[in-house]
Amino acid sequence: MEKVTTRDVVRKYNFKFTKSLGQNFLVDDTVLEDIVRGADVSKEDLVIEIGPGVGTLTRELLAKAKKVYAIELDSDLIPILQEELKDFDNFELIHKDALKVDFDEIIGEEKSVKVVANLPYYVTTPIIANLITKGYNFKSLTIMIQKEVAERIDAEPNNKDYGSLSILVQYYCDTKILRRVPPASFIPQPKVDSIVIRLDKLDKPRVQVRDKDLFFKVVRQSFNMRRKTLRNAVKSLGMLDSEEMEKAFKEAGIDPKRRGETLSLQEFANLTDSIYNVKNHNG
Ligand code: SAM
């Protein structure tokens, strides 16, 4: 069978790209192969693709997966995808904003669900946050995203990219950068470099905390005030007086003069639990 390329389909339908929808379509076969191989897709898997475009990656996924659900927002792409992929009986198209999809309805009782996508960059972070925090039963997310965002997700303490996003993702997932992708791999070319990253959902969060909301509040506050000490960050939560703060830091074994960017997830968890204990007088 002759290979159908992105350029062919774009030309055939005289498709006009919408920049505001993050439409940069892949034209590099090596990247397609690396995404599919990196996602480790097999006939056991239900794959959810967000933003199929003209279906270039979708076609590769359909050949490997049991079933592919593709979620596309752009009405102009719906008839193109329906026509181009009509021969695949394992394909379902959902015309919707990925941020408004209840993934539980797609996943149902499926045991092996993988998300694979070349994401629209303007909504990368909300899509990832939505997928990982809602407890959906999927195994992994293999996604192409802007290089800077991938580096923030994958960063370790004391690295300039380490921040709230690193902690949010690493709390729920193992992270692995698979490859870098230059602008020339897309039409039209984006202004930024991209990275394919794989996030493997952990069976349980990486660290255990007594109050998850408080944990993320402490994290956010610590990075909102990057140049400030942890003492100032915790003070700005407005939960503890000076004496209680001293007690909490002491119990956690953390120097209040340190900055948030030096703390591991476990240390943030220890600090949060100590704040919780002091506040609830059960420390
Ligand atoms: N998968 C194709 C490829 O690799 O060539 C296209 C990827 S392109 C970077 C992103 C796709 O996401 C576009 O098709 C765009 O229309 C779609 N999209 C943008 N915002 C979306 C949203 N909120 N929900 C679902 N799809 C969206």
Please report whether residue 206 resides in a domain.
no
Q: How far is the CA of 200 from the centre of ligand 1 (A)?
A: 22
| Burial of 31: CB neighbours in 10 Å, binned 0-12, 13-18, 19+ | buried
Kindly tell me if the per-residue pLDDT of 282 is higher than 70.
Answer: no
- Do residues 137 and 168 share a domain? yes
50 lines ligand 1 (CB under 6 A): yes
Look at residues 82, 99, 75, 71 and name the one whose alpha carbon lies nearest to residue 9.
Answer: 82
- Do residues 189 and 225 share a domain? no
Please report whether residue 242 resides in a domain.
yes
Whose alpha carbon is nearest atom 22 of ligand 1? 97
**Per-residue confidence (pLDDT) for residue 237, from 0 to 100:** 92
pLDDT digits (tens, 9 = 90+) for 122-157: 999 999 999 999 999 999 999 999 999 999 999 999
**Per-residue confidence (pLDDT) for residue 143, from 0 to 100:** 98
d(CA 176, CA 196): 9
pLDDT digits (tens, 9 = 90+) for 58-84: 999 999 999 999 999 999 999 999 999
SS3 content of the chain, % helix, strand, coil (to 5): 45, 20, 35
- Do residues 197 and 161 share a domain? yes
Substitution candidate for ligand 1 out of 62, 72, 187 with most atoms within 8 A of CB: 72
The predicted model gives 233-248 an average pLDDT of 94
52 lines ligand 1 (CB under 6 A): yes
**Per-residue confidence (pLDDT) for residue 225, from 0 to 100:** 77
Which two three-digit tokens encode residue 264?
A: 């591991």
Q: What is the dihedral of CA 40, 43, 45, 47, to 10 degrees?
A: 80
Which two three-digit tokens encode residue 257?
A: 């003069």
In terms of residue numbers, what domain contains 97? 6-201
Kindly tell me if the per-residue pLDDT of 1 is higher than 80.
Answer: no
The predicted model gives 37-66 an average pLDDT of 98
d(CA 182, CA 190): 9
The predicted model gives 214-241 an average pLDDT of 92
Domain count, the chain: 2
56 lines ligand 1 (CB under 6 A): yes
Substitution candidate for ligand 1 out of 9, 15, 25 with most atoms within 8 A of CB: 25
Please report whether residue 1 resides in a domain.
no
Please report whether residue 161 resides in a domain.
yes
d(CA 184, CA 235): 48
User: Long-range contacts: 239-244, Cβ < 8 Å, 24+?
Assistant: 239/275, 239/279, 240/275, 240/278, 240/279, 244/278, 244/279
**Per-residue confidence (pLDDT) for residue 228, from 0 to 100:** 86
**Per-residue confidence (pLDDT) for residue 281, from 0 to 100:** 77
- Do residues 147 and 239 share a domain? no
